Amino acid sequence: MSLLRELQEIVGKEWVVSGEAATLYSHDAFLLHKGSPSLVVLPGSEEEAVRVVRLLLKRKERFIVRGSGTSLSGASTPLDDEVVVSLARLNRVHSVEGFEVEVGPGIANFSVSKSLPTHLFYAPDPSSYQVSSIGGNISHDSGGIRVVKYGPTYNSVLGLRVLLSDGSVEEIRTSPLLNHKSIFVGAEGTLGVILRARLRTFRRPENTKTLAALFESLEKASRAIVEIFNRGVNPSGLELMDRYSIRAVERSRFRAGIPETEALLLIELEGIPEEIRRDEGVVLQVLEELEAEVIVPKDKEEESRLWAARRGAFPAMAYIFPAYITLDCNVLRRDLSKALLKIREIARKHGVYIANVFHAGDGNLHPLIPFDPNNRESMERAVAAGVEVEKVVIELGGVPSGEHGIGIEKVGFMRRYYTEDELKVFRRIKEAFDPDYLMNPCKLVQREDCRPASEVLTKLWEAD
Amino acid sequence: MTLEEAEKEALKCVHCGFCLESCPTYNVTRNELFSPRGRVLAFREGKSLEVFASCLFCRRCELACPSGVNYSKIYVEAIRRVRKLDVSSVVESPKLLSLTLRALRRSRPYLPEPREPLTHKDERAEVVIFPGCVTSVLFRGLVEKAVKYFRAVGIKTEVVNGCCGLAHLHSGNEEGARRAVERLRERAKGRPIVGLSSNCVARLKEEGLEAYDFAEFVVKRGLPVKGRAELVTVHDSCHASHFGLGKYTREALRMLGAKVVEMEEPNYECGAGGYSFILNDDVSEAVSEVKKNMIAKTGAEAVISTNPVCTLNFLRKGLRALHVLDLMEA
Ligand code: SF4
Ligand code: SF4
């Protein structure tokens, strides 16, 4: 029987997409490559998902598991003609108890919070939280604004149900010894298929307060970030928007009337009123010492306008150019200033616009490099600048990706960041879990026979 | 709108997927073939355009899109190439519309009996009442009540029957849609238009006419209202909610003495958008079911619907659906 027929028998005819329509699954939010999936299959239950994946494994088909397809690194983009397995329909809330919630991998991050009693919330909040799936969040160890206080997805995962390449279904629980939960978080779907996740939630803070500070220089803004922590304040959000991202936002529907300045810091404090008052005093002192102009939003509406501007900064780039590369390299807070200035230099050198809007509290940079997808030269310049940014960050001791993942975008940087020995260890891990390299092939950890499927990918992969 | 404009809009899409969860057809399928992002990509690639056929044209995706993609422009261009059915000539003629609805009624007993549209014109009428094509033949009682109400509050009216062109857009008949609006503009002669079908009102507003939804007019003019105190929930019909018309509906209901219990997502699509109330398929049925559950959960005695196609869909689902006017004493 053909694969198509067998899959149809498991999930029903209407849940297998083939032919021209499969093009609609040719890429995710990473815009530099399009694959041509041979088939797309959408199982409707855990049992169906298990049968589908077992069938693919038995037939030695290469496949990609995806959720909402919002990856910025192409982790859910087929490189070539892999079968795409969408788990978007596995979006059930299985149970809510105490501070724990158990969900299917296809549920959107936002829907998790919605399913909780009002006094609880699910902490990780990547910009795509309205739509991105929990399975994808786990596979990328997604962060967001609240990382600075609550940590990335890793800190919110308590247990996983995973389908392994030998067809077995395993319950992975947090264990005090050789904690194996960690290996599936951030594995980008290369080691197993996540079927269910048990997540921890937090109690909603009683109050929050937002402060905004305008700086005349990136150095001073960077010093403020370091100082806030040095003086014992851990904000629940600490974001930086530079001149170029402010400019983009102010031209978009997210405009909040932010004056164009070198850097804007958005600081959120939370807790009981006394805590907030104490932290606010400390933060205001730091801001004053560094000659920032402080804006205290007059009401909740103004606060949410500022945060909406921050959240809208990525898509706002579309008002400048219809496509952009989003890097998410990470440096230590104390190196932020150096990294930011170097990035400015790179932008000048390559004649590109680089906007920076990022999770400053945890040093997770987001240089956005827009390009015109119809203009090769513009695309190449953007890629070249991106490669150089990553190099600079790695030289500063940073990591190539903080939260968007390696996917197909940053595999080239793996060689720059890790030694040959370390990469060998990665490959051994991969081979232990997936000896035939069938799961999300050529992402994150590559076998020698992976070929870049386009010129742009060649440039990115040969980045070192 | 032109092909060129539609292409420009499609190029603005950065494939972020932020529109997915806002889309009713995606909610019930969780499949890109039924998502706004999938549809935009299909248009861009010129492939699988049939994915537009299941679109309910509710435009919720536009509200969610952070990049400002104007989906309507893409939809109208794409649907023209896909849709076999074009009801433009039917909705333009009340006779044909009545005949068609009468025929449809045989298999759809929930449809009210079609009647001849009301014609009415006061001397020196200062306000135009625009029922909208479906309301004019299926809900003539509402039109009569509106005329009576305005007379009672001392406003002279003229009823102008016709179509706003929204039905034309559903089959990609851009030209017909434009002509429908132009005809209305001529007949209104600069007078304010009070609509009894809120999605039509939204369309007229978008085309720059001075149009008000019935409740909006009442509230803005501070007209007196009296009515029944019922426990109701409000459905915000899709296009109307783009213009925030729901707040006037609620205000008018408050003035009437009705009590509103809100449902989870008042502007969630009713499930009848596009031609779905005629072509009803699995997807639109699943959307209708989601909506029905939201309404049922409120425990309200009736759902207030200011747009006739939504009303018909609610009737089809066995719900009690009323217009604001239905609760009014006139
Ligand atoms: S108009 Fe409505 S049904 Fe159509 S794509 Fe947009 S949100 Fe979905
Ligand atoms: S939200 Fe807008 S830009 Fe993003 S995928 Fe949808 S239509 Fe495209």
DSSP string, A84-103: EEE-TT---EEEEETTEEEE
From A139, A142, A146, select the one nearest A160 (Cα to Cα).
A139
- Cβ neighbors of A298 (< 8 A, separation 6 or more) are none
- For residue B20, give the DSSP letter: G
From A221, A179, A181, A220, select the one nearest A197 (Cα to Cα).
A181
Take atom 8 of ligand 2 and give the residue whose Cα is closest.
B13
Take atom 6 of ligand 2 and give the residue whose Cα is closest.
B19
Asked if the A3-86 domain carries CATH number 3.30.43.10, the reply is yes
H helix count then E strand count, chain B: 18, 8
CA distance B137 to B102: 11
Domain with CATH 1.10.1060.10 in chain B: 3-82
Does residue B31 belong to the interface with chain A, where contact is any CB pair within 8 Å?
A: yes
Domains of chain A by residue range: 3-86, 93-202, 208-314, 321-410
Strands B193-195 and B127-130: parallel
Q: Do A3-86 and A93-202 share a fold? A: no
**Own/partner pairs, B99-108, CB within 8 angstroms, 24+ separation:** B101/B137, B101/B138, B104/B278, B108/B316
Of B21, B51, B68, nearest to A131 by CB-CB distance is B21
pLDDT on residue B88:
84
Range B3-82: architecture per CATH:
Orthogonal Bundle (1.10)
Rounded percentage of chain B residues whose pLDDT exceeds 70: 98
Length of chain B: 330
3-state secondary structure of A213: strand
Asked if the A208-314 domain carries CATH number 3.40.710.10, the reply is no
Q: Do A110 and B11 touch (CB under 8 A)?
A: no
Q: What dihedral angle (degrees, nearest 10) is formed by the CA atoms of A30, A35, A40, A44?
A: -20
pLDDT at A344 over 70: yes
Q: Do B68 and A252 touch (CB under 8 A)?
A: yes
Across B295-318, b (16+ Cβ under 10 Å) vs e yields beebebebbbbbbbbbbbbbbbbe
Q: Do B14 and A315 touch (CB under 8 A)?
A: yes
* Burial of A298 per CB tally in 10 Å (0-12, 13-18, 19+): exposed
Q: Is the CB of B119 inside a 6 Å radius of any atom of ligand 2?
A: no
pLDDT on residue B330:
65
Q: For residue B40, which residues of chain A lie inside 8 Å, CB to CB?
A: none
Locus of tokens 């747009």: B307
- Cβ neighbors of A147 (< 8 A, separation 6 or more) are A124, A359, A361, A362, A364, A403
The minimum CA-CA distance between A11 and chain B, rounded to whole Å, is: 13
- For residue A108, give the DSSP letter: B
The minimum CA-CA distance between B10 and chain A, rounded to whole Å, is: 10
* Helical packing angle, B71-82 and B3-12, nearest 10°: 120
Question: Token pair of A119, please?
Answer: 């006094």
Question: Of A398 and A434, which is predicted with more confidence?
Answer: A434
pLDDT on residue A321:
77
Report the separation in Å between the CA atom of A200 and the middle of ligand 2, taken as the mean of its atom positions: 30
Rounded percentage of chain A residues whose pLDDT exceeds 70: 100
User: How many Cβ atoms are within 10 Å of B148's Cβ, its own excluded?
Assistant: 13
Residue of A nearest to B19 (CA): A131
3-state DSSP: chain B helix, strand, coil percent, rounded to 5?
Answer: 55, 10, 40
Q: Which amino acid appears at position A359 of this protein?
A: H
Question: Token pair of A252, please?
Answer: 């978009």
Locus of tokens 């991105």: A132
- Give, in order, the Cα–Cα distances in Å from A45 to each of A62, A167, A240, A384: 21, 16, 42, 44
The distance from CA A350 to its chain's CA centroid, rounded to whole angstroms, is: 26
CA distance A305 to A309: 6
Question: Of B281 and B60, which is predicted with more confidence?
Answer: B60
To test the contact with chain A by mutation, choose from B11, B67, B69, B290 the residue with the greatest count of A C-beta atoms within 10 A, namely: B67
pLDDT on residue A274:
96
Residue A100 forms beta bridges with which residues?
A97, A200
Angle at A229 between CA A228 and CA A231, to 5 degrees: 70
- For residue A20, give the DSSP letter: G
Q: Select from 3.30.70.2740, 3.30.1150.10, 3.30.70.270, 3.50.50.100 the CATH code of A321-410.
A: 3.30.70.2740
In the predicted model, what is the mean pLDDT of chain B? 93
Strand order in the sheet with A169-173: A93-97, A100-103, A193-200, A157-163, A169-173
Backbone angles phi, psi at A165, to 5 degrees: -70, -10
The CA radius of gyration of chain B, in Å to the nearest whole number, is 19
pLDDT at A463 over 70: no
- Cβ neighbors of B259 (< 8 A, separation 6 or more) are B229, B230, B231, B232
Q: Do B48 and A24 touch (CB under 8 A)?
A: yes
Backbone angles phi, psi at A166, to 5 degrees: -90, 5
Average pLDDT over residues A369-392: 89
Across A315-339, b (16+ Cβ under 10 Å) vs e yields bbbbbbbbbbbbbbbbbebebbbbb
Q: Is the CB of B263 inside a 6 Å radius of any atom of ligand 2?
A: no
3-state secondary structure of B303: strand
Average pLDDT over residues A390-408: 87
**Per-residue pLDDT tens for B269-326?**
999 887 776 666 889 999 999 999 999 999 999 999 999 999 999 999 999 999 999 9
Q: pLDDT-derived band of residue B89, with 50, 70 and 90 as boundaries? A: confident
Does residue A310 belong to the interface with chain B, where contact is any CB pair within 8 Å?
A: no
CA distance B258 to B233: 10
Considering every ligand atom shown, identify the ligand nearest to the alpha carbon of residue A31 and give its number.
2
The number of the ligand 1 atom at minimal distance from the alpha carbon of B60 is 7
Ligand 1 pocket: which of B9, B23, B288, B290 to mutate (most atoms within 8 A of CB):
B23
Counting one residue from chain A and one from chain B, the pairs whose CB atoms sit within 8 A come to: 94
Asked if the B231-327 domain carries CATH number 3.40.50, the reply is yes
- For residue B11, give the DSSP letter: H
Q: pLDDT-derived band of residue A327, with 50, 70 and 90 as boundaries? A: confident
Range A93-202: architecture per CATH:
2-Layer Sandwich (3.30)
From A261, A264, A385, select the one nearest A325 (Cα to Cα).
A385
Strands A202-203 and A120-121: antiparallel
Question: Token pair of B152, please?
Answer: 């009672």
In the predicted model, what is the mean pLDDT of chain A? 93
Average pLDDT over residues A324-351: 91
- Cβ neighbors of A231 (< 8 A, separation 6 or more) are A282, A285, A286
Question: Cβ distance A201 to A120 under 8 Å?
Answer: yes
| First-to-final CA distance of chain B | 42
What is the pTM assigned to this prediction? Answer: 0.92
pLDDT on residue A219:
93
CA distance A434 to A445: 11
| First-to-final CA distance of chain A | 45
| Alpha-helical runs (H) found in A117-260 | 134-140, 147-150, 181-184, 218-230, 243-250
Question: Token pair of A338, please?
Answer: 């150096």
- For residue B328, give the DSSP letter: B
3-state secondary structure of B284: helix
Question: Token pair of A417, please?
Answer: 């960041």
The number of the ligand 1 atom at minimal distance from the alpha carbon of B57 is 1
Question: Token pair of A397, please?
Answer: 């001791």
Average pLDDT over residues B149-160: 97
**Per-residue pLDDT tens for A88-141?**
999 999 999 999 999 999 999 999 999 999 999 999 999 899 999 999 999 999
Angle at B309 between CA B303 and CA B312, to 5 degrees: 60
**Per-residue pLDDT tens for A48-75?**
999 999 999 999 999 999 999 999 999 9
The DSSP result for B169-211, as a single string, is HTTT-HHHHHHHHHHHHHHHTT--EEESSHHHHHHHHHTT--E
Q: What is the ipTM of this complex?
A: 0.92
CA distance B158 to B193: 10
Average pLDDT over residues A387-414: 87
pLDDT on residue A460:
82
Question: Cβ distance B312 to B242 under 8 Å?
Answer: no
Take atom 3 of ligand 2 and give the residue whose Cα is closest.
B13
- Give, in order, the Cα–Cα distances in Å from B280 to each of A341, B75, B287: 59, 19, 11
The DSSP result for A118-161, as a single string, is TTEE-----TTTTT-BHHHHHHHT---TTHHHH-SGGGGEEEEE
**Per-residue pLDDT tens for A256-312?**
999 999 999 999 999 999 999 999 999 999 999 999 999 999 999 999 999 999 988
CA distance B196 to B40: 33
**H or E stretch including B88?**
helix B88-92
**Per-residue pLDDT tens for A151-163?**
999 999 999 999 9
